[in-house]
Amino acid sequence: GQNIDQPTEMTATEGAIVQINCTYQTSGFNGLFWYQQHAGEAPTFLSYNVLDGLEEKGRFSSFLSRSKGYSYLLLKELQMKDSASYLCASMDSNYQLIWGAGTKLIIKP
Partner 1 sequence: ETGVTQTPRHLVMGMTNKKSLKCEQHLGHNAMYWYKQSAKKPLELMFVYSLEERVENNSVPSRFSPECPNSSHLFLHLHTLQPEDSALYLCASSQDFQRGGHEQFFGPGTRLTVL
Q: Does 106 bind partner 1 (CB under 8 A)?
A: no
Query: What is the torsional sign of CA 54, 37, 22, 7?
Result: positive
Q: Which stretch binds partner 1 (CB under 8 A): 13-21, 62-70, 75-83, 97-105?
A: 97-105
Q: What mask of x and - would describe binding to partner 1 in positions 37 to 76, judged by CB under 8 A?
A: ----xxxxx--x-x--------------------------
Minimum distance of partner 1 from residue 57's CB (angstroms): 13
Minimum distance of partner 1 from residue 105's CB (angstroms): 15
Interface residues with partner 1 (CB under 8 A)?
4, 8, 30-31, 33, 41-45, 48, 50, 87, 89, 91, 94-102
